Amino acid sequence: MTAVVISGTGLYQPPHTITNAELVESFNAYVDHYNTEHASEIEAGTLTALAPSSVEFIEKASGIKQRYVMEKSGILDPKRMYPRLQSRTDDELSMLAEIGVEAAKKALAAAGKTGADVDGVICACSNLQRAYPAIAIEIQNAIGAKGYAFDMNVACSAATFGLEQAVNAVKSGSAKCVLVVNPEITSGHQEWKDRDCHFIFGDVATATVIERADTATSADQWDVLGSQLATQFSNNIRNNFGYLNRSEDSDPKARDKTFRQEGRKVFKEVVPIASAHIESQLQTLSVQPSDVRRFWLHQANLSMNQLIVKKLIGGEVTPEVAPLILDEYANTSSAGSIIAFHLHHGDMRPGELGVICSFGAGYSVGSVVVRKR
Ligand code: CO8
């Protein structure tokens, strides 16, 4: 089989940040407004008053301190609470493709490649802007890539599921160089009015170049030793937005048409799934968890990541072993583990091992074991 490497990654960071303090201030203004407007129903006991959010809770429960977003004023407007995005004509690059292209250009530059070297583009993310044509084909066209392109969605695990498709394509010879792009405009499908989750997500895009080892020229290459994917049905993370909504005559702004979760259940159930998954993959590669220098995990919750790695290696889990990026970026769905890899691999030496692992809705979990060349 052809040897396959990761030869470059790229990160696009949106222009605006929202700190927890800004977010909580606008959320609490919304709560005050709502409770005042519905004072008589609340008084009569027919409606429950909304409770305020707090910076302390957010930081303690999740580790998130701020997030990047494509547009800020609409999210922070207590009378709106979602971004104000301009629609674009069919002749303009879509917003998802645009941020994907920005990340892709950086990944290609890091790999020492151009769009013309790419013969496969996979857009792997959790929220696709439209049904068709595929965002991936738009990106393929914009960067001048050859071959084929397609979109796929496995929510937060989309990056590792996409990486496996790319690795298999290069291994089997159906492509020589595949670009996996993870554009995430989560702010469009985040429920900013829900106290339980209004702080969770941020926008970003990442891209990864996967190619044959014998064509790679990058100074920074990572052998892909293996990948492993798994899914197990759960309703604990769900979004019912979809193309049948109109025919169902359902309200497009109803609560079930944006992200919702049973966060505590997800935490409890996904920690053992993710750690067992990584352990079993390392076993098949005859690698001890303690031989892994770094775990670049999905970035949903600081304590969750520490527990997953603790189950694998025991003892204290430092940022050196499991880097944290969610304090700055929040949960960026599929992009989280790739941002962690992108920002925290420069100090690793040839021969050292790392695991990129993502997990989330589905449930889904994917891991990719890499070795620095
Ligand atoms: N401010 C103050 N208090 C709050 C707030 C708030 N904002 N929110 C909740 N509380 C209160 C609750 O009411 C509760 O009070 P009480 O004890 O009196 O009932 C108390 O705080 C504790 O609440 P929780 O049990 O909900 O809090 P947790 O400690 O469980 O923390 C978390 C909540 C941070 C959400 C945590 O459960 C978590 O991170 N879980 C893991 C979630 C996870 O990994 N999810 C993966 C989802 S990502 C994914 O798959 C991608 C989907 C696609 C992306 C779509 C993009 C939009």
User: Is the confidence at residue 1, as pLDDT, over 80?
Assistant: no
Q: Is the minimum distance from the CB of 94 to ligand 1 under 6 angstroms?
A: no
| pLDDT tens digits, one per residue of 45-60 | 999 999 999 999 999 9
Q: Which atom of ligand 1 is nearest to the CA of 362?
A: 50
User: pLDDT band at 154, cuts 50/70/90?
Assistant: very high
pLDDT for 2 equals: 86
pLDDT of residue 196: 96
CA 158 to each of CA 161, 284, 286: distance values in angstroms, whole numbers, following the listed order: 5, 23, 26
What's the whole-number mean pLDDT along residues 117-124?
98
What is the b/e burial string over 198-210, where b = at least 16 CB atoms within 10 angstroms of the residue's CB?
A: bbbbbbbbbbbbb
Output the CA 75–ligand 1 centroid distance in Å. Answer: 19
- Strand 16-19 and strand 222-231: pairing? unpaired
Residue 31 to residue 198: CA distance in whole angstroms: 12
Residue owning the nearest CA to atom 11 of ligand 1: 196
Q: Report the candidate in 9, 298, 340, 16 with the shortest Cα–Cα distance to residue 181.
A: 9
* Positions marked active-site: 156
Residue 35's CB: how many other CB atoms inside 10 A?
16
| Composition of the chain by helix, strand, coil, percent to 5 | 40, 20, 40
Decide: 183 and 97 in contact? Cβ < 8 Å.
yes
**What does the pLDDT read at residue 68?**
98
Please determine, for residue 285, whether its predicted confidence score (pLDDT) is greater than 80.
yes
CA of 23 to the centre of ligand 1 (A): 15
The packing angle between helices 336-343 and 158-172, to 10°, is 70
Confidence of residue 362 (pLDDT cuts 50, 70, 90): very high
Ligand 1 lined by 208 (C-beta under 6 Å): no
List helix spans (H) across the chain. 20-37, 39-44, 55-62, 73-76, 95-111, 135-143, 158-172, 263-284, 302-313, 326-329, 336-343
Q: Where are the beta strands (DSSP E) in 128-266?
A: 148-152, 177-184, 204-212, 222-231, 237-238, 260-261
Instruction: Name the residue at shortest CA distance from atom 46 of ligand 1.
Output: 360
Q: Pick the atom of ligand 1 nearest to 199's CA.
A: 7
266 Cβ inside 6 Å of ligand 1:
yes
Query: pLDDT tens-digit profile of 58-79?
Result: 999 999 999 999 999 999 999 9
Q: How confident is the model at residue 338 (pLDDT cuts 50, 70, 90)?
A: very high
User: What's the whole-model pTM score?
Assistant: 0.96
Q: What local confidence, expressed as pLDDT, does residue 315 receive?
A: 86
CA distances from 352 to 294, 344, 372 (A): 9, 13, 6
CA distance 55 to 357: 28
Residue owning the nearest CA to atom 47 of ligand 1: 360
DSSP 275: H
